[in-house]
Amino acid sequence: MLVARFAPRIGSFALVACLCLLALPALTAEPPDWSALADIDTVSVVTTNADGSQRYTTVWLVVVDDRGYLRTGSTTWGENVDRDPAVKLVVADAEYAFRVDYVEAEDERARVSAAFNQKYGFSDTLIGWFRGARPKIMRLASF
């Protein structure tokens, strides 16, 4: 009797749950076509907070030498990457899994910084005043 009473609600819940899952970005095993992403202004990066929850952060992306790069100053999502370098990049309806490698070589840092400045112009310069002199520059690498 109880099952008959609640079955329609359970069915509706299952339908809504399936629709929600379909709306999530698809995790793609293949790396993205970086040249196709070069003109995209912002993407979402998904990191893992200390409590295990996911943090979605909108960030700028540049492509240099057919590789994707992110950059941050002293931020929560940057601290998350320090703790766990596994991230997801969400672009439109696709989601890509990456490992972050920090860029320390000065020549690569200079090329990536110049690419951010060329792409984002004065906004990049302005944010640089708050971000600090030596931001974390992150190369997105496949696992």
**What's the CA gap between 117 and 126, in Å, rounded?**
10
Which helix (H) or strand (E) segment holds residue 31: the answer is none
Q: Is the pLDDT of residue 7 over 70?
A: no
For residue 90, the one-letter residue type is V
Average confidence score pLDDT of the chain: 84
Q: Which two tokens stand for residue 14?
A: 């299952």
Residues 6+ apart with CB under 8 A from 35: 63, 66
Q: What is the pLDDT of residues 9-37, one digit of tens each?
A: 444 444 434 444 444 455 665 779 999 99
Supply the pLDDT for residue 132.
67
Question: Model pTM greater than 0.85?
Answer: no
Q: State the burial class of residue 19 (Cβ atoms within 10 Å of its Cβ: 0-12, 13-18, 19+).
A: exposed
**What's the CA gap between 91 and 97, in Å, rounded?**
11
Supply the pLDDT for residue 93.
87
